[in-house]
Amino acid sequence: MKLCIASGKGGTGKTTIAVNLALALGERAELLDCDVEEPNAHIFLRPEISGSKEIYTPIPLVDLSLCTFCGQCAQICRFSAITMVAKKVLIFQDLCHSCGGCTLVCPTGALSEGKRQLGEVSAGHKNGLSFLSGRMRIGETMAPPLIRQVRAQADSRKISIIDAPPGTSCPVIAAMSGVDCIVLVTEPTPFGLHDLKLAVEAVRLLDIPCGLVINRADIGTDEVYRYAQQENLPVLLSIPFDRRIAELYSEGKPLIEALPVWRETFLQLYEDIDQLTQAHKEKVHA
């Protein structure tokens, strides 16, 4: 199973859910920290890192001695990453999406393939639990290619738990696409409900089964619960607003390690996710 833990709003407890669920499943699972702009799962998991790999993306390089300044490369680029100014070819690396179109249309072979570092992917483990984490290079602007590289290194034999970036933009879609189920973590506040609605819209465009985890469940109002009922979204787990839980988070300690009673709760969460996924598959095949 490929499972994505996401949220419309940042700070709802998404990483807390991902880390504790992964720890509860143990050797059956792997945790993928795809929040590559600000990865923090390692702070709570404290894995033993076995290695890291620099990740690059292709970018065009121009040989002016071969260039006829025909402008075909600039015309095909949808992102204005390459343009012609007099007898110069300007390449804006941060805008390049590495599609390769410019090198294909160049009639003289003046464009060749270079590379730009996106960041790095680290691998490790903790008590049999596999761990992968992406970290963007400082100054890099494109997260999706790095997220896809993290996911590409996942072990298909294990339950992949993907800690997605917050929001509903391209990085989130890169983390969600192709998974079996999405768990949206929210909180019962006006901001939480507003961003949850945006996230639900994104999930439904992808046609992936979805359930909710409501963190700090006894603050705010019941509007999130009413919205979940209205939209037929199952509430898989509610976590109370508890000082002890907050203290553990501030100390970087996983909930199920400090309070073992929560282990069964997270194992049950996975069983409910599995049932939700199977029900969706049966509905699709019916």
Average pLDDT over residues 246-267: 93
Single-letter amino acid code for the residue at 59: I
Comparison of pLDDT for 220 and 32, the residue scoring more: 32
- The pLDDT-based confidence of 2 (bands split at 50, 70, 90) is very high
Average pLDDT over the chain, rounded to whole?
93
pLDDT reading at 44 higher than 90: yes
pLDDT surpassing 90 at residue 184: yes
Region 197-214: mean pLDDT is 94
Which domains are seen in the chain, by residue range? 2-55+120-285 (3.40.50.300), 64-109 (3.30.70.20)
Q: Residue 87 — pLDDT band, cuts 50, 70, 90?
A: confident
Q: 10 Å Cβ neighbour count for 142?
A: 19
Q: Are 116 and 48 within 8 A, CB to CB?
A: no
Token pair listed for 78:
């949808």
pLDDT at 25 over 90: yes
> What's residue 231's pLDDT?
93
Look at residue 5 and tell me whether its pLDDT is greater than 90.
Answer: yes
**DSSP 8-class letter at 157:** T
Strands, DSSP E only, in the chain? 2-6, 29-33, 48-62, 82-85, 88-91, 111-126, 129-136, 159-163, 181-186, 210-214, 235-238
pLDDT at 10: 85
Average pLDDT over residues 231-244: 93
Model confidence at 220, pLDDT cuts 50, 70, 90, reads: confident
Helix or strand holding residue 62 (H, E)? strand 48-62
pLDDT at position 18 is: 97
> pLDDT at position 210, please?
95
Q: Which of 258, 267, 209, 208 is nearest to 237 (CA)?
A: 267
Q: How many CB atoms lie within 10 A of CB 228?
A: 21
Tell me the pLDDT band of 86, cut-offs 50, 70 and 90: confident
| Burial state string for 200-221 with b = 16 or more CB within 10 A and e = fewer than 16 | bebbeeeebbbbbbbbbbeebe
Give per-residue pLDDT as tens, 103-153: 999 999 999 999 999 999 999 999 999 999 999 999 998 999 999 999 999
Residue 251 has pLDDT above 80, yes or no: yes
Q: So what's the pLDDT on residue 8?
A: 84
